[in-house]
A and B are shown apart, each in its own frame.
Chain A
């Protein structure tokens, strides 16, 4: 019997455009954003890196130093893809940048100065890249000119310009591990963590809406009256709705995850290729000598520190943690579906259910974004409270999904989550009563009426 109820719920829900459209969106939203970024943003980035730049130059003085710099600029301009000309008042719209060059020798420190007026527009995402190219171009030329003025050879000049060869090794506190990877890669990891949080928050809201809509339709069409007079246990009706909402919610999660993976692939590929074209696609490797020293240092500090050679190896989730996170998410789904059933049961129509369930959006998104930026100390009171509340706990646990280690505490708090969730399921079952629903509905309607009157 229960399978018939779930089948009916699934068929009815999945064919409803108010439900299948959000599910479809969950599959395509990230890839569409990725394709748009790839097509437009990366294209502009590539253009900014590769296109020839027309630069007009004004020398603020006619001294030897200014003319020397102009000569050096001319000699290296081809390598930077820059067309350099003395500016003769042609108008700013005919060039990409206007550079005003000066020279000072205050306190016996010779130094060039430049004022760069560059073309910027909210529509031109590559403006900053063009500016960086011009700055690098002027920097190199000024360094050469100054070394000539001071009689410094090019080798010494290079040492002065780049006195230290930096390499940074991230230490992942939660895993007590070092990752021999480019620290910039951690930016994409933070981005992924934030995205996971947003996905879970969005899914929670969607699931509540799915079940609220499903229940409100039953109310609106009065089909719930028929269901409640059939020889079906109330718990089966609730279970049917929970299962269908959960399944569709799971489908949305799958959609978001698959979509996000596609997005990451599209996004990262476009930037890697654009970076490579711009000459910034070099690898990241710790030299043999440094690597040896690093291992010696690690041995001295703590032999328990692990060393990972790649970002994927460093952020491999713990095999026990993922099932735990999955259960946290399942409990969150059950909780939100129960809240949705409550909302739908108390709503006389779909519009009312949508209005009521949309009120969940703000607090859930607010808490999720706050969680994304708050550093939650494990074992702190805040951490204990957050991890005890279903949905919020799933968001909090997912935040550290890639690095955290499971603990017994997590199991205890999971049990607490489950307990709260079951209370909500029980309450939603109690609400599945025509008299209760109609009474609450009258109260809600009168409250709404009062609000409109005011």
Chain B
């Protein structure tokens, strides 16, 4: 079974159908992106895969473990980065990395190694890491969170809008880190974005999610070529427009 396998996933909140039978699978070591506008169902899919919420129906497996029946096993494999997660304001960046490392690793040496990796990924100076995180800029907070998510060498990293709210330079740095880390550590990355340029640049394969359904899938190039457009953004707009017309 693929590291991530999702079949007919449905989620209904009251009167709202957030996911309508979503199916996809992710290959090992791949960067797989769910792209789509706000409210498309990306975060709901990720929250189900991260064991935070239960699907209304359908199946989802991480490394063969059901997210519904074996959530504890799934949590040992994944690392989840929510879209707009903050930080523990009163902890220093170093204290936070140490805390997370001590959750995933038992022996002292592994904890220290994880912290070292965290420092490298975050690209924060010693001085910055020893400051309370309430003093951090948005970019620094995001970097420490990405570092936290990747330093524990998860088999599957689920990153919801990792570049959300960041300036172009910081976005570029975060993309570089994700790509570098996914390749060097062999981590399977499942990420979401609503920025097509980002998806085109970083993702091996893409699934375009629109109103709770996958409306297109493939490599960015395949989707662009299939629709005869010059960019993923244009292809996306074409798909979304045709769907809107149908509705």
Contact = CB atoms under 8 A, between A and B. Distances in A.
A25 interface: no
B35 to A, nearest CB: 22
A226 B102 contact: no
Contacts of A21: none
B72 A231 contact: yes
Contact of A225 (B76, B78, B85, B100): B85
A64 to B, nearest CB: 84
Interface string A211-243: 000000100111101101111100000000000
Contacts of B145: 226
Interface in A1-41: 1, 4-5, 7-8, 11-16
B99 interface: yes
A221 B52 contact: no
A90 interface: no
B53 A4 contact: no
B158 to A, nearest CB: 8
B103 A225 contact: no
A434 interface: yes
B118 to A, nearest CB: 14
B104 A225 contact: no
Interface string A405-434: 000000000000000000000000000001
B82 A1 contact: no
A221 B53 contact: no
Nearest to B82: A225
B75 A435 contact: no
A434 B47 contact: yes
A14 B84 CA distance: 25
Contacts of A230: 75, 100, 103-104
B156 to A, nearest CB: 11
A399 B80 CA distance: 50
A31 B140 CA distance: 43
Contacts of A221: 85-89
A4 B85 contact: no
Contacts of B95: 8, 11
A146 B221 CA distance: 121
A229 B84 contact: no
B54 A8 contact: no
A4 B102 contact: yes
Interface residues of A, number: 25
A278 B98 CA distance: 64
Nearest to B145: A226
A229 B52 contact: yes
A226 B103 contact: no
Contacts, number: 80
Contacts of B82: 222, 225-226
Nearest to B134: A15
A63 B116 CA distance: 104
B103 A4 contact: yes
A7 B96 CA distance: 11
B132 interface: yes
A435 B78 CA distance: 20
A8 B72 contact: no
B103 A229 contact: no
B90 A231 contact: no
B45 interface: no
A226 B80 contact: yes
A83 B142 CA distance: 80
Contacts of B51: 228-229
B91 interface: yes
B50 interface: yes
Contact of A16 (B75, B80, B90, B100): B90
Interface in B52-107: 52-54, 72, 75-76, 78-82, 84-91, 95, 99-100, 102-104
A250 B173 CA distance: 46
B85 A222 contact: yes
A22 to B, nearest CB: 15
Contacts of A15: 90-91, 132
B53 A434 contact: yes
A229 B84 CA distance: 15
Given A1-B103, A15-B132, A228 B86 contact: no
A228 B54 CA distance: 13
Given A221-B85, A225-B82, A231 B52 contact: no
Contact of A229 (B78, B87, B89, B90): B78
B104 A223 contact: no
Contacts of A1: 102-103
Contacts of A232: 75, 103
A108 to B, nearest CB: 84
Contacts of B47: 225, 434
Contact of A8 (B81, B91, B104): B91
A8 B99 contact: yes
A226 B145 CA distance: 10
B99 A223 contact: no
A42 B69 CA distance: 70
A42 B102 CA distance: 56
A4 B87 contact: no
A12 B89 CA distance: 7
A210 to B, nearest CB: 13
25 contacts: A4-B99, A4-B102, A8-B95, A11-B91, A12-B88, A13-B90, A14-B90, A217-B88, A217-B89, A221-B85, A221-B86, A222-B85, A223-B87, A225-B47, A225-B52, A225-B80, A225-B82, A225-B85, A226-B80, A226-B82, A226-B145, A230-B75, A230-B103, A231-B76, A434-B53
Given A229-B50, A229-B75, 20 more contacts: A4-B102, A8-B95, A8-B99, A11-B91, A16-B90, A220-B86, A221-B85, A222-B84, A223-B88, A225-B82, A225-B85, A226-B81, A226-B85, A226-B145, A226-B148, A230-B75, A231-B75, A232-B103, A434-B52, A435-B54
Interface of B: 47, 50-54, 72, 75-76, 78-82, 84-91, 95, 99-100, 102-104, 132, 145, 148
10 tightest Cβ-Cβ pairs between the two chains A and B:
A221-B86, A15-B90, A4-B102, A229-B80, A8-B99, A229-B50, A231-B76, A222-B85, A434-B52, A231-B75
